[in-house]
């Protein structure tokens, strides 16, 4: 890019005569070269310096903007072109414009462009017709797209691929498969489209069968399958397939591959693999694009390395509202409320307008730190200053904020005044406050509301069972659990993940499937004795079954995060940080136990539950026991 800029500077400062080098020809070459280096904005600068751009220059610019998904810019420059009295758009112009209309789902503009195409006699052009078929599929009009396909005088492999991909986009995998099976010639695009289509519909078995049947694969095919696993929450499978891609040696991962695997690593807390991806980017001197930078920053934030997340953020040349939201939310998850608020103010100074996700981050920062009045102020700013209508998630965050602070009347009144219908999560936030402050009457009322919305809500039955158990009404507690069984209400099992030597291990409560289970349980037993000596008292009130105290203590010791931590102790070098991710909120007993364990083994334990990070070190937690 540096050499390209030098050449551009030379053309500007000492331009050759037009008889030797046509300025439009030079501009077209520069525009294309800037595009290849992911610099579309520089392409616009080159074009804007032309005194009289010809159609080739216009088409080059529109193609670059469409290629980089700057669709609103395509529409703007096409409007300028139409105002020209000397230039008439051709088929190359319209392929870029149609792509932009499809990307913006601008149905009216797309129909007008189609009318212009027909009027100018380009509708039978193969490239234009392929683009029109794709556009109408993206408009959600598959019957019209199919009609245009059937009327095509000539078709190529792109035409058939567009039909397959279009049906997949519309969710009609059966029609896509029918077309796919009809095709005499198939290429990487058609195979990838079918794999992505089945993955999008949730049928990963058939998607993998197709992938395994492929005679040859390129990076797009690998990406389709890896992304399919990641999007369907099969994160371990996504990482394993990425490893296989690397081992194949036939393809080199690109931005799309890395974003998909980073997403999987983020969910599993697979930091080692994430760091490897970061190193891969640096070794290959890859441009840290907006999407790749956001994915990498998000990975570090979700793996407990907020300082690394900020370093990636600072390396990025381009940032958007998502980039800022990742940092704001990451700081909030780690309990750094002041830094999160500072980042929010810094974003505003950079003239980046916050969105609803940004405000979820800033509200959660206030929730985790107990900043009730500050959180309420931001809630009003979101509505009154930025005109963002609160979603049910924002209400849930504010109600959680009020409930944790014991302001249960305010929380319940806010639910009653919500502009959107409260859901189970909103009522569940209030129920959490009732549990903390032992407001039994209100809790029972809230449970009734929740069960009206979701009769299979396991948390409500568990709350009632625990409430009865805490009052010594063990028969009533047992009755609640029997009712759960009779109604076939399934409780989400606690699951924890830990990464050791680039491999992610999964543990469930009472899990004995691991080859080292005997050692893991031996460590738990040894830690249990040492913890009691240090003053740890198991919180057996969390176990509502009618069993004796010793059995209750045994049940608590088998929670998934304790198993994962014990495995981390025996599988990593002494003094190494142990990082665990859990799918549910950490319970009171495990939270207390982790503080004792961190002190006994002299290690930092970083536990990510479904709402925040807990950094346990020297017998203390970063949340200051407020979570």
Please report, rounded to a whole number, the percentage of residues in the chain having pLDDT higher than 70. 98
Which residue did the predictor score with more confidence, 420 or 249? 420
For the residues 218-228, what does the mean pLDDT come to? 95
Q: What is the pLDDT of residue 519?
A: 96
Q: Do 288 and 314 meet the contact criterion of CB atoms below 8 Å apart? A: no
Kind and range of the H or E run holding 500: strand 495-500
Q: What angle do CA 390, 393, 394 make, to 5 degrees?
A: 45
**Residues written for the chain:** 627
Give the residue carrying structure tokens 């399919």. 228
pTM for the full predicted model: 0.77
**pLDDT of 240-296, one tens digit each?**
999 999 999 889 999 999 999 999 999 888 898 999 999 999 998 888 888 999 999
**pLDDT of 160-201, one tens digit each?**
999 999 999 999 999 999 999 999 889 999 999 999 999 999
Say which residues have a Cβ less than 8 Å from residue 313's Cβ, sequence separation at least 6: 293, 297, 319, 323, 326, 327
The number of angstroms, rounded, from the C-alpha of 476 to the middle of its chain's C-alpha atoms is 42
- φ and ψ of 252, to 5 deg: -110, 130
* CA pseudo-torsion sign 56, 61, 64, 69: negative
Structural domains of the chain sorted by starting position, each given as residue range(s) with its CATH number in brackets:
1-155 (1.25.40), 495-621 (no CATH)
Cα end-to-end distance, the chain, whole Å: 49
**pLDDT of 126-139, one tens digit each?**
999 999 999 999 99
């Amino acid at each position: 890019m540096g050499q390209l800029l030098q050449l551009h500077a030379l053309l500007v400062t000492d331009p050759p005569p037009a008889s030797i080098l046509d300025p439009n020809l030079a501009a077209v070459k520069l525009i294309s070269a800037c595009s290849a280096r992911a610099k579309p904005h520089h392409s616009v600068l080159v074009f804007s310096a032309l005194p009289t751009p010809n159609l080739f220059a216009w088409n080059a610019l529109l193609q670059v903007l469409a290629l980089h998904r700057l669709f609103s810019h395509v529409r703007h420059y096409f409007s300028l072109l139409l105002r020209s009295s000397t230039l008439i758009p051709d088929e190359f112009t319209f392929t870029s414009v149609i792509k932009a209309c499809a990307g913006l789902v601008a149905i009216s503009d797309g129909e007008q462009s189609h009318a212009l195409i027909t009027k100018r006699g380009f509708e039978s052009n193969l490239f234009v017709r392929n683009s029109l078929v794709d556009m109408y599929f993206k408009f959600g009009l598959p019957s019209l797209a199919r009609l245009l396909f059937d009327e095509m005088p000539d078709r190529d492999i792109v035409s058939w691929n567009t039909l397959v991909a279009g049906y997949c986009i519309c969710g009609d995998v059966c029609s896509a498969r029918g077309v796919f099976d009809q095709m005499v010639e198939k290429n990487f695009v058609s195979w990838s489209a079918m794999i992505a289509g089945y993955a999008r519909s949730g049928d990963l078995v058939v998607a993998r069968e197709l992938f395994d049947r492929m005679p040859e694969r390129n990076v797009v095919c690998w990406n389709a399958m890896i992304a399919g696993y990641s999007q369907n929450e099969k994160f371990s499978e996504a990482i394993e397939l990425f490893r296989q891609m690397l081992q194949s040696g036939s393809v080199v991962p690109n931005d799309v591959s890395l974003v998909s695997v980073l997403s999987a690593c983020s969910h599993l807390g697979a930091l080692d693999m994430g760091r490897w991806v970061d190193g891969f980017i640096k070794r290959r001197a890859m441009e840290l694009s907006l999407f790749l930078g956001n994915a990498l920053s998000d990975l570090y934030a979700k793996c407990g390395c907020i300082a690394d997340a900020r370093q990636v953020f600072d390396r990025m040349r381009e940032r958007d509202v998502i980039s800022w939201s990742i940092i704001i939310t990451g700081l909030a998850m780690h309990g750094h409320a002041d830094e999160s608020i500072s980042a929010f103010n810094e974003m505003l100074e950079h003239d980046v307008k916050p969105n609803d996700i940004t405000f979820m981050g800033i509200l959660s920062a206030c929730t985790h730190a107990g900043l009730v009045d500050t959180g309420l102020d931001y809630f009003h700013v979101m509505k009154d200053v930025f005109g963002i209508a609160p979603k049910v998630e924002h209400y849930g965050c504010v109600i959680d904020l009020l409930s944790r602070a014991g302001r249960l009347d305010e929380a319940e009144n806010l639910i009653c005044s919500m502009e959107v219908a409260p859901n189970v999560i909103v009522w569940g936030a209030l129920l959490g406050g009732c549990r903390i402050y032992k407001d039994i009457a209100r809790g029972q009322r809230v449970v009734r509301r929740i069960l009206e919305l979701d009769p299979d809500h396991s948390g409500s039955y568990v709350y009632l069972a625990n409430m009865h158990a805490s009052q010594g009404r063990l028969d009533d507690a047992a009755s609640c659990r029997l009712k759960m069984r009779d109604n076939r209400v399934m409780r989400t099992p606690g699951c924890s993940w830990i990464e050791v030597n680039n491999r992610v291990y999964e543990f469930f409560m009472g899990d004995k499937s691991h080859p080292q289970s005997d050692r893991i349980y031996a460590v738990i037993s040894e830690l249990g004795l040492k913890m009691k000596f240090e003053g740890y008292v198991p919180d057996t009130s969390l176990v509502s079954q009618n069993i004796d105290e010793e059995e209750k203590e045994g049940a608590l010791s088998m929670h998934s995060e304790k198993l994962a931590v014990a495995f981390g102790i025996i599988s990593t070098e002494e003094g190494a940080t142990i990082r665990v991710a859990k799918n549910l909120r950490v319970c009171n007993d495990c939270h207390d136990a982790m503080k004792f364990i961190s002190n006994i083994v002299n290690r930092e334990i970083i536990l990510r539950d479904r709402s925040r990070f807990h950094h346990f070190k020297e017998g203390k937690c970063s949340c200051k026991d407020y979570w």
